[in-house]
Chains A and B, each alone.
Chain A
Amino acid sequence: GALKPAAGPRVLNDFLADKSYIEGYVPSQADIAVFEALAAPPPAEFYHALRWYNHIKSYEKQKASLPGVKKALGKYGPADVEDTTGAATDSKDDDDIDLFGSDDEEESEEAKKLREERLAQYESKKSKKPAVVAKSSILLDVKPWDDETDMAKLEECVRSIQADGLVWGSSKLVPVGYGIKKLQIQCVVEDDKVGTDMLEERITAFEDYVQSMDVAAFNKI
């Protein structure tokens, strides 16, 4: 994978919003590795990254003696945040976004596509807005033709719908009788960018799988 300059500064900034260092609580080779990979200081709008950058710069003279071992850049980046409340820990690394692209040669085309998709989703979730943005949480009911429709495929089609201001959430299959299950899926939309009409149009376009779509619930958030 290659360095993604466009994705870089924003993802780095968000990653560092609540951290002083790339790894752990002391400056280490991890910080040096990322620092040296940056061509220039982050722009002022990414003030968390800039704060980190200036701080690590102050360690320039000692960089060789900082703890740790420099790893490939793909190994650093946002991962699941340490959750110590004792609630069910998410063992699936769903939010594991590769900061600079993975160096893993075994990565398949599909995994690569999924990662790029998730990076785009992560970006659209996290991009900073200057003003308060009106958002809504919508629960959609997507009905198949019959009980033989491949619901996994149907869900895949729905989730493949990408738009600025649209983020898909969790989903479940709900039986509606005669062995038929409908897909109930959540999404969060920015009101001025995505509406239910557009969602209906794009979802029902998957004519092979989708018979109809309804809004089961609509809440302003």
Chain B
Amino acid sequence: GGEELALLEKALGLQSGNKYGAQGERQIPVLQTNNGPGLTGLITIAAYLVKQAKKEQLLGKSAEEKAVVHQWLEYRVTRVDKHSSKEDTRTILKDLNTHLEDKVYLAGNSFTLADILMYYGLHHVMVDLTVQEKEKYLNVSRWFNHIQHYPGVRQHLTNVVFIKNRLYTNAH
């Protein structure tokens, strides 16, 4: 929660260094703002930070794009969790792989907050994938490799290596 938001702040070029609290059993992040109500929840705070950084385009440009961005942010907090089962993880990778078949970014042609938060959310999954699994979820691998190279996003997180299987692969 708090760690991820700190990463996001840097990725957005913000210097704020906010302090985040954590609420309840699921450790939902809380941000106490100076002049206003406290903000609760990853998506809420993330969207707030994007606006603070004056990068609203990261939330989507058209109405449809905004909706798709929000869809993936919702997906992130409801489905992608450090405690997901192996089977849940496989479903997520399968969903993503299908969605990314004809898209460069989650929302289509533009890089958005959805890409950033899905990248942070899935990092711990991608780090542990085998070579065969990376090949199996080829579109996810392509997307993940792209996002981790996006300036300012990866920061101190491990660089996940993707090697295209060259010669005698039977995983076609």
The reply to whether A55 and B104 contact each other, CB–CB distance below 8 Å, is: yes
Complex Cα distance, B102 from A220, in Å, reads 35
Chain A, 80-106, CB within 8 A of any chain B CB: 81, 83-85, 95
Partner of B170, one of A83, A84, A221: A221
- Nearest CB on A from B64, distance (A): 14
Complex Cα distance, B141 from A169, in Å, reads 28
A202 within 8 A of B: no
Complex Cα distance, B170 from A55, in Å, reads 30
Kindly list chain A residues whose C-beta atoms are within 8 Å of the C-beta of B166: 81, 95
B149 within 8 A of A: yes
Complex Cα distance, B127 from A85, in Å, reads 14
B109 within 8 A of A: yes
- Nearest CB on B from A192, distance (A): 15
The reply to whether B172 and A81 contact each other, CB–CB distance below 8 Å, is: no
Complex Cα distance, B170 from A125, in Å, reads 10
Scoring B141, B142, B161, B164 by chain A CB atoms within 10 A of each residue's CB, the highest score goes to B164
How extensive is the interface on chain B, given as a class? Answer: 20 to 34
A130-142 interface code vs B (CB 8 A; 1 in, 0 out): 0011010100000
Determine the residue in chain B with the shortest Cβ distance to A130: B172
B96-114 interface code vs A (CB 8 A; 1 in, 0 out): 0000011110000100000
A202-221 interface code vs B (CB 8 A; 1 in, 0 out): 00000000000000000001
The reply to whether B145 and A18 contact each other, CB–CB distance below 8 Å, is: yes
The reply to whether B102 and A50 contact each other, CB–CB distance below 8 Å, is: yes
The reply to whether B168 and A17 contact each other, CB–CB distance below 8 Å, is: no
Scoring A25, A52, A95, A169 by chain B CB atoms within 10 A of each residue's CB, the highest score goes to A25
Complex Cα distance, B150 from A188, in Å, reads 39
The reply to whether B146 and A85 contact each other, CB–CB distance below 8 Å, is: no
- Nearest CB on B from A86, distance (A): 10
The reply to whether A18 and B138 contact each other, CB–CB distance below 8 Å, is: yes
Given contacts A133-B170, A167-B168, 5 further A-B contacts (CB under 8 A): A84-B159, A95-B166, A135-B168, A137-B168, A169-B168
B-to-A contact residues, CB < 8 Å: 101-104, 109, 138, 141-143, 145-146, 149-150, 159, 161-164, 166-168, 170, 172
